[in-house]
C-alpha cells in the first residue's frame, strides 16, 4: 500500500547519494527494467498512502484478520503448513 510513500521517503533521505529524489523522477529517468514500468506508473498515479492513512490502516487490519484466520485453522486442523 505505501510503496510510493516509502520510496519517496527513502530517496529523499539518501540526499546527494542518489540521482533521483522521487518516484516521479525515477519514471522520468527511465532507469528501471521495462517489466516494472506499469507498476511504477500505477504507483505514481495513486495516493501516497503513508502508514497512518486510512487505506494503509485498513490494509493492515485486513492482513491481521487473514493471518488470524489462517493460524486458527492451522491450529484446529493440527497443520504445520499450508501448501
pLDDT in tens, the chain (83 residues): 689 999 999 999 999 999 999 999 999 999 999 999 999 999 999 887 778 888 888 888 999 999 999 999 999 999 999 88
Alpha carbons 24 and 27: distance in angstroms, whole number:
5
Question: Residues of 5-26 as b/e, b for ≥16 C-beta within 10 angstroms?
Answer: bebbeebeeeeeeeeeeebeeb
Q: What are the residues whose beta carbons fall under 8 Å from the beta carbon of 43, sequence distance 6 or more?
A: 3, 4, 7, 23
User: Is the pTM of the predicted complex or chain greater than 0.85?
Assistant: no
Amino acid at each position: 500500500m505505501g510503496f510510493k510513500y516509502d520510496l519517496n521517503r527513502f530517496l529523499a533521505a539518501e540526499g546527494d547519494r542518489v540521482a533521483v529524489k522521487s518516484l516521479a523522477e525515477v519514471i522520468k529517468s527511465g532507469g528501471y527494467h521495462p517489466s516494472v514500468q506499469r507498476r511504477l506508473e500505477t504507483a505514481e498515479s495513486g495516493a501516497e498512502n503513508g502508514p497512518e492513512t486510512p487505506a494503509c490502516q485498513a490494509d493492515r487490519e485486513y492482513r491481521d484478520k487473514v493471518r488470524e484466520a489462517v493460524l486458527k485453522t492451522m491450529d484446529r486442523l493440527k497443520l504445520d503448513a499450508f501448501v
